[in-house]
Structure formats: C-alpha cells, structure tokens
Amino acid sequence: MTKENIRSILQTMREFQDVHITQVFTKGETDWLHVKCKTGTSTLELTYLQTEAVHYYESVDAAAEVIDQAVTTVSAP
C-alpha cells in the first residue's frame, strides 16, 4: 500500500468522523495498528497493537507518514 493510499483512507475517515470506522494496518501478516477518527473531531487516533501505545494526529500527512514507516520498516528478528 502506498503512502497516498494511506492518506486517502485517513482523509475518508475524517470526512465520516461521526461514523465509527476503525482501520487495521498489518505488517506482514500481523495486525500492527488500529486507526480511528475520534468521534466529532478530525483527530486521528493510532493504537500500536503490540505495545498498546496510543498517539494522536491532527495532520493526515503526518499520520500517513507514521503509518507508512510503521508497516514498511523491517523489524529485527
């Protein structure tokens, strides 16, 4: 998935912020991130499933960059 595809998904989530949409991004075959738009806001909430760390982004571009890096970076064995 390209960064532009990710950006498009995130923008759609923001447009429908009053609908509960959660997007799962995988790394290999492992679910890696849950992303949702906080209801009634344009804030994107990213939850790393491995650590349960939660980060918030107001910028679609910044969130897309973080997601792209998270799912394309090769982890050490």
- What residues does each domain of the chain span? 3-72
Q: What is the CA radius of gyration of the chain?
A: 12
pLDDT computed for residue 17 by the predictor: 87
pLDDT computed for residue 75 by the predictor: 62
pLDDT digits (tens, 9 = 90+) for 54-77: 999 999 999 999 999 999 887 644
pLDDT digits (tens, 9 = 90+) for 30-59: 999 999 999 889 999 999 999 999 999 999
Q: pTM of the predicted model, to two decimals?
A: 0.88
In the chain, alpha helices (H):
3-15, 60-72
Burial class (CB in 10 A: 0-12, 13-18, 19+), 67: buried
pLDDT at 3 over 50: yes
Pick the CATH number of 3-72 from 3.40.50, 3.30.720, 1.10.10, 3.10.450: 3.30.720
The dihedral through the CA atoms of 75, 29, 71, 63 has a sign that is negative
